[in-house]
């Protein structure tokens, strides 16, 4: 009987080998991750230092150039420079106490500052507006903390009013930074955090 030709392939060789392709399963594509600031928090600390420097410089000018409670008109009839001292919290809250409030509010400011220093390293790098707000609050808190520890009171000098009809409590640069920073953080929480969590994976 004739023998099989040498060209005859075995059944195993005759099976076509299909190329292996990686198949993408819908819905499993990974979103980019949120990355913590880490060492990059330094740039936000520099913003805080800028606030502290501006706050302390303007307070020094006010304390050396202005007389206590003697208004200097800047924009009539809505803005004066008026030197004032605050022994309490915002709007002179607890200012008339026996002195314990100095250390109470200094302790609160210190605790808040330490929290913000740590939190800025953990805040998402992508949340730039949030980081700006936190840095402003940190700078303002430390600016007023320096006053409380150094002289036992906070120097205020920005006096917004309308003639002699309405007067807003006198404030300073640190107060502005804190208020603007809080507003920015609230805006981020209300309008940006949800979108960020949708776009990025925690």
Residues with catalytic annotation?
A: 156, 175
**Nearest in space to 61 (alpha carbons), one of 81, 78, 46, 75:** 81
- Beta carbons of 173 and 54 less than 8 angstroms apart: yes
- Buried b / exposed e across 82-99, counting CB within 10 Å, b at 16+? bbbbbbbbeebeeeeeee
Alpha helices in the chain (DSSP H): 11-14, 41-65, 100-122, 128-151, 173-187, 193-199
Beta-ladder partners of 80: 73, 159
Distances (CA, A) of 182 to 100, 102, 179: 27, 23, 5
Q: What is the largest CA-CA distance in the chain?
A: 127
Quick one: which of 58, 56, 62, 61 has its CA closest to 142? 56
CB 180 within 8 A of CB 136: yes
74 Cβ neighbours under 8 A, 6+ residues apart: 80, 81
């Amino acid at each position: 009987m004739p023998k099989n030709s040498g060209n005859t392939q075995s059944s195993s060789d005759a099976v076509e080998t299909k190329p292996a392709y990686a198949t993408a399963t819908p819905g499993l594509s990974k979103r980019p991750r949120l990355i913590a600031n880490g060492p990059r928090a330094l740039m936000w600390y520099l913003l805080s230092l800028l606030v502290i420097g501006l706050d302390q410089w303007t307070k020094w000018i006010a304390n050396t150039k202005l007389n206590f409670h003697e208004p200097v008109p800047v924009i009539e009839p809505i803005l004066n420079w008026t030197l004032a001292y605050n022994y309490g919290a915002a709007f002179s809250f607890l200012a008339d106490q026996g002195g314990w409030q100095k250390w109470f509010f200094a302790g609160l400011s210190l605790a808040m500052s330490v929290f913000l220093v740590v939190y800025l390293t953990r805040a998402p790098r992508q949340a730039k507006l949030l980081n700006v707000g936190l840095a402003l609050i940190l700078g303002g808190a430390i600016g007023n903390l320096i006053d409380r520890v150094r002289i036992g009171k906070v120097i205020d000098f920005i006096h917004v009013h309308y003639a002699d009809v309405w007067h807003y409590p006198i404030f300073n640069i640190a107060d502005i930074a804190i208020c603007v920073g809080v507003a920015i953080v609230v805006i981020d929480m209300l309008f940006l955090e949800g979108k960020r969590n949708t776009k990025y994976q925690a």
